Amino acid sequence: MLERSTQFPSSPSRTRLAVLGSPIAHSLSPAIHRAAYETLGFDWEYDAIELSGESLPAFLSALDGRWRGLSLTMPLKRDVVSLLDWADPLVELVGGANTVVVSDDGLRGFNTDVEGAMRSILDAGLSELRAVWILGAGATAASLLVAAIRMGASTITVFARTPSKASPLQELGESLGATVIVRQWREAAEISEPPTVIITTVPGGAMDLKFALSVREAAALFDVAYDPWPSAVAQSWFDAGGTVISGHDLLVNQAIAQVRIFASGVADVPLSREADAIDAMRRAVSEQPQAHETS
C-alpha cells in the first residue's frame, strides 16, 4: 500500500469523475456533485456509469490521466478494496470503500459513509446515541454500525433475515468495544422497548416490518433507502410524529465529504463556500425525480 501523498492534486488536467454501480441510470449523484462543483467553481465533469463487479478491474486499469475520482455504490464497495493501491484505515475497518481518488501514484480508497451518517444523525438533533438497532447486514450496515459506535452507542442489535450473515458486524462492533446482539429479522417488530435510533439499510421494497406506535414515537428512524420517498416505514414514523432521517441526508452528507477528498486528497479539510455547496446539493435533490440508488 502507498503512503498518504503530500502532494495533491497531482495534475489540474484530472477533471473526470463518475459514480459506478448497478443499477445506476437514475442515480442522484451526478446532479448533486455537479451542483457542488458549479457552486465551488470546479471545472469538473461527473457522470454515471453502469458497472458490475466483474467489470471493475478492467475499468480501473483503463483509467487515464483525465480521471480524478470515482464514487462507488452497490455492489462495488467491497469489490474495489482489493484493487486499491492505498486504503484509508476506515476502509480496512469496515471492509468497503465508496470513494476512489485517481492519482499519479495509484488508486486511493476512502469511506465517507461513516462521516455522512454521523453528520446526518447530528443534523437531526441527536448528539449522542445509546442503544441502536440496525436492520440489514450488508456493506452499508458496517459503515452505519461504526458511525453509531463513534456517536456513543454501547449496545447495537442487528436484525437480519439470515443471522449468520451478521457475524462480521458482530465481530466489528465488539472489536470497537460495543455489545452487538444479532436477532432474527421479524423480532424487531415484536420488541416494545425502543432504542435511541432504528437504522434500516435495506431497500424500501424489502422493508416489511411494522412497528408499534410507542416505538415510532420514541425512537428516531434513519431510513438509508429513499426510493420511493417517503417509504412506507418512514411514512408510518411521520404519522406518529416521530423523528425521521432520510437517505437523501446521507447521500448529500457523504457526497460533500467526497468532494473534499476529490479537492484535497483528505476528508478533513473544509471547502471554501462549503455551506453554499451543501445548499446547492439539497436543492438538486429536491428538483430530481425519484432515483434508484442505495448510498
Distance CA 200, CA 197 (A): 10
Q: C-alpha grid cell for residue 128?
A: 449522542
Q: Assign residue 80 a region (left: φ > 0; alpha: ψ between -120 and 50; beta: otherwise).
A: alpha
According to DSSP, the β-strands at 197-200 and 131-135 are parallel
Q: How many whole angstroms separate alpha carbon 206 and alpha carbon 227?
A: 11
Residue type at position 112 = T
77 labelled catalytic:
yes
Q: Distances in Å between the alpha carbon of 181 and those of 95, 159, 164, 197, 264?
A: 20, 9, 12, 15, 39
Cell readout for 55 is 467489470
16, 77, 216, 248: which is the annotated catalytic residue?
77
* Nearest Cα residue to 10 out of 103, 110, 108, 109: 103
Terminal-residue alpha carbon distance, the chain: 26
**Residues tagged active-site:** 77
